[in-house]
Structure 1
Amino acid sequence: MGAALTRYRVIAWIVGVVLILLMVIGMPLKYGFDNAIVVETVGQAHGFLYMVYLVAAFDLSRRAGWPLSRMILVMLAGTVPFVSFFAERRVSRWVTGQAAAPEPVANAPVR
């Protein structure tokens, strides 16, 4: 599951940075200065990268055994500026905490 987490973390950061560039630079240029070149190029890049983000989030969620609601929330995190960074940290804690927790042993006495 470590490789899936690494893939997710990398694409979450990339999607977050590209979305911030789109919102902070592209949108003001488009609507304030009537120059849509940044929105046209960065917007398409973000759209493609967001699809890669969805695949990485889905892969990680299936490997980690998350419920559907958690998977959907993590997937939506790439659509709001700065939220993908928060989600990446939270997901990393979930996955590393899940990996560190000992698995129950079958037929072990319950105390």
Structure 2
Amino acid sequence: MLKIFSLTALLEGISYLLLFGIGMPLKYVAQIPEPNIYIGYAHGFLFIAYVALAVMVCVERKWSLKTFIILFIASLLPFGTFYIDKKYLKPQMA
């Protein structure tokens, strides 16, 4: 479960950066909204999967509510899920 969560965290972080680094500028600066639709769908799906897996991993590993809140807040910040992967997930897999 931890490996799946780690992969999802990385993919969610990449989709976040694609959405706000490429999709939004294309939509609002270049007036090309189409890529934003698909990137947005992917990001939305990955965000929901990330949060659901965070709940499952916290229950499985008996992590505290504080840890879950940190995992959740990281999903809202650029590069947050990359930090979570390095700080919380990789040491658990080693």
* Fold shared per TM-score above 0.5: yes
| Residue deviations 1:46-74 (CA, integer Å, cap 9, x gap) | 01111111111111111111111210210
Query: Are the aligned partners of 1:5 and 1:60 in contact in 2 as well (CA < 8 Å)?
Result: yes
In structure 1, runs of 5+ residues without a counterpart are 98-111
Counterparts of 1:71 and 1:41, CA distance in 2: 28
Match of 2:13 in 1: 16
Counterparts of 1:94 and 1:58, CA distance in 2: 19
CA root-mean-square deviation: 1.6
Matched, 1:83 2:80: yes
Counterparts of 1:65 and 1:40, CA distance in 2: 37
Q: CA deviation at 1:93?
A: 5.0
TM-score normalised per structure 2 = 0.88
Query: Percent same amino acid among aligned pairs?
Result: 29
Q: What letter corresponds to residue 46 of structure 2 in structure 1?
A: L
The 5-angstrom pairing of residues 38-53 of structure 1 reads: 38-53=35-50
TM-score normalised per structure 1 = 0.76
Structure of higher CA gyration radius: 1
In structure 2, runs of 5+ residues without a counterpart are none
Per residue, is there more helix in 1 or in 2?
2
Question: 3-state SS of the aligned residue for 2:29?
Answer: helix
